[in-house]
């Protein structure tokens, strides 16, 4: 049985038809063409598919697509403002916080969820915020540093 | 194969659908059932979910706390009245899992998961169930002992007494990775003291028996004893005799038996 799903994706009203039992990740990637959240384990273990739903981090692979009906969904594609990257994205680039890059979309979204709630996080809070996101390349240190650096830059801009 | 998804406005309707259709499974947070869907599990063809507001309701103002089974770990962490349960909710998954994972779903989490269920056991929680025949209530340890029996009733809520002294409620999860990891051993304990001696101890273990269990041997050994190194020694010794710990990728059965007493001693003495 199919179901129409309407949601706000990165600030734009969109609609798609989901198959019964389809998860939000499939809806985003295959129906709506936003391939920025990655399909890693599909078991809720790796965090590569992390998106924000109404501002809270969720694993898109474990959310029923139709449960997102009427909600506000933010993927990593929604972080940049036109050609201007989000400070998190700039800090990740500057600090070489990505190697293969597969975990990066989930890391950025998980980090954004943290900074939205806690603009000046401690190192421990950053580690806790990305605890559900697996990276097999970097050893995490450059990622944690990049999130802290982004927070510092954002605080500086707010002046 | 596409599944049929039935969304109900009330818990009672959801319970009736589940009762009528043996191939139906209930979806709460999705962290267990959607994994099965993604794996291509063909043992069910219908998903039942509910938008009943009672399912996600927290009643924590009084002495008796009631949690709708659909209350998430993130909701627990956002509730100041449930501060004593924050270390437990924080022990479940990472932030994204906590947005989704529910207290009711945690009762069905397979070994080595189910940390929240262990805490609820130590709080002597009661489980509210709904089926096509109506509502009933059972003790959590009784429920867990038969949780895999079918047809499964719908868990609608959990209730328990607020610990009169928050310091009497203790929780510790030993993991191999930090800050997020599955349990080598989880211990939840409610150890109120009267005149410096434990009175009415309840201790629950996770990852020690295939499902969370009450540790009656530890409880008996603690009764009437002070929470000192000497006082807790019999309980620490009793810990190795509890349960039937599984061997898995995290730890062997032998190791779990060796380490559970160490974790218990540190928990009871407030050591790091």
3-class secondary-structure state, position B140? helix
**Per-residue pLDDT for B12 more than 90?**
yes
CB contact under 8 A, B95 and A129: yes
d(CA B118, CA B186): 8
Architecture in CATH for domain B166-269: 2-Layer Sandwich (3.30)
As assigned by CATH, the class of the A87-158 domain is mainly alpha
Sign of CA dihedral B207, B208, B209, B212: negative
Q: What is the DSSP code (8-state) at residue B241?
A: T
> With bands split at pLDDT 50, 70 and 90, how would you rate the model's confidence at B148?
confident
Note whether A52 contacts B: Cβ–Cβ < 8 A.
no
Q: Which of A19, A37, A22 is nearest to A107 (CA)?
A: A37
Residue in A closest to B42 by C-alpha: A21
| CATH number attached to the domain at B4-50 | 3.30.43
Residue B198 has a pLDDT of 98
Reported ipTM: the value is: 0.96
Chain A residues within an 8 Å CB radius of B180: 131-132
CATH of B53-161, one of 3.30.465.10, 3.40.1010.10, 3.40.50.2020, 3.40.50.150: 3.30.465.10
d(CA A147, CA A2): 40
d(CA B190, CA B138): 20
Q: What is the DSSP code (8-state) at residue A12?
A: E
**Which residues, in sequence order, are bridge partners of residue A43?**
none
Question: Taking residues B260-268, what's their average pLDDT?
Answer: 98
Residue B120 has a pLDDT of 98
- Domain locations along chain B: 4-50, 53-161, 166-269
Per-residue pLDDT tens digits for A95-150: 999 999 999 999 999 999 999 999 999 999 999 999 999 999 999 999 999 999 99
d(CA A26, CA A42): 10
pTM above 0.95, yes or no: yes
**Per-residue pLDDT for B151 more than 90?**
no
d(CA B134, CA B143): 17
Residue with tokens 């969720």: A58
d(CA B270, CA B247): 28
Chain B residues within an 8 Å CB radius of A56: 74, 99
User: For chain A, percent helix, then strand, then coil, each to nearest 5?
Assistant: 40, 20, 40
Note whether A70 contacts B: Cβ–Cβ < 8 A.
no
How far, CA to CA in Å, does A132 sit from each of A41, A99, B97? 12, 18, 8
For helices A104-117 and A141-158, the axis angle rounded to 10 degrees is 40
d(CA B25, CA B28): 10
Residue B1 has a pLDDT of 66
**CB atoms closer than 10 angstroms to residue B32:** 20
Note whether A66 contacts B: Cβ–Cβ < 8 A.
yes
Per-residue pLDDT tens digits for B187-219: 999 999 999 999 999 999 999 999 999 999 999
What share of chain B in percent tops pLDDT 70? 100
Residue in B closest to A60 by C-alpha: B96
- Domain locations along chain A: 2-78, 87-158
Domains B4-50 and B53-161 share a fold: no
What's phi and psi for B73, nearest 5 deg? -60, -35
Residues, chain B, total?
272
Q: Where are the beta strands (DSSP E) in chain A?
A: 2-9, 12-19, 50-53, 56-59, 72-74
Taking only residues 109 to 148 of chain B, the set having a beta carbon closer than 8 angstroms to any beta carbon of chain A reads none
Residue in A closest to B45 by C-alpha: A21
Per-residue pLDDT tens digits for B35-90: 999 999 999 999 999 999 999 999 998 899 999 999 999 999 999 999 999 999 99
| CATH number attached to the domain at A2-78 | 3.10.20.30
């Amino acid at each position: 049985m199919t179901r129409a799903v309407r949601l706000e994706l990165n600030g734009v009203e969109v609609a798609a038809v989901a198959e019964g039992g389809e998860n939000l990740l499939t809806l985003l990637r295959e129906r709506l063409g936003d391939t920025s959240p990655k399909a890693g384990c599909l078991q809720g273990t790796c965090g590569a598919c992390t998106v924000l739903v109404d501002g809270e981090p969720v694993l898109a692979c474990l959310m029923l697509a139709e449960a997102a009906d009427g909600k506000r969904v933010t993927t990593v594609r929604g972080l940049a403002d036109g050609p201007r990257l989000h400070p998190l994205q700039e800090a990740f680039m500057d600090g070489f916080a990505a190697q293969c890059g597969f975990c990066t979309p989930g890391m950025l979204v998980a980090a954004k969820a943290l900074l939205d709630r806690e603009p000046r996080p401690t190192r421990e809070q950053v580690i806790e915020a990305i605890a559900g996101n697996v990276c097999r390349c970097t050893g995490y240190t450059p990622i944690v540093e990049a999130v802290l650096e982004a927070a510092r830059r954002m605080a500086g801009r707010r002046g | 194969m596409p599944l049929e998804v039935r969304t109900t406005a009330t818990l009672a309707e959801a319970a009736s659908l589940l009762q009528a259709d043996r191939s139906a499974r209930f979806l709460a947070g999705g962290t267990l059932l959607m994994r099965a869907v993604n794996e291509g599990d063909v043992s069910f063809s219908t998903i039942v979910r509910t938008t009943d507001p009672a399912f996600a309701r927290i009643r924590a103002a009084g002495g008796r706390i009631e949690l709708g089974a659909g209350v998430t770990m993130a909701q627990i962490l956002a509730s100041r009245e449930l501060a004593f349960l924050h270390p437990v909710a924080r022990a479940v998954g990472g932030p994204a899992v906590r947005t989704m994972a529910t207290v009711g779903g945690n009762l069905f989490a397979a070994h080595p998961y189910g940390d929240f269920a262990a805490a609820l056991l130590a709080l002597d929680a009661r489980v509210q169930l709904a089926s096509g025949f109506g509502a009933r209530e059972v003790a959590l340890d009784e429920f867990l002992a038969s949780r895999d029996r079918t047809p499964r009733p719908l868990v609608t809520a959990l209730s328990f007494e607020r610990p009169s002294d928050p310091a009497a409620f203790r929780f510790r999860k030993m993991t191999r990775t930090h800050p997020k990891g599955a349990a080598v051993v989880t211990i939840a304990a409610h150890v109120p003291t009267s005149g410096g001696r434990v009175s009415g101890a309840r201790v629950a273990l996770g990852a020690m028996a295939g499902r969370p269990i009450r540790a009656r041997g530890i409880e008996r050994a603690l009764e009437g004893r002070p929470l000192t190194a000497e006082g807790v020694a019999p309980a620490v010794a009793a810990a190795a005799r509890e349960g039937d710990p599984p061997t898995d990728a995290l730890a062997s059965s032998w190791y779990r038996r060796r380490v559970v007493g160490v974790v218990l001693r540190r928990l009871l003495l407030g050591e790091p």
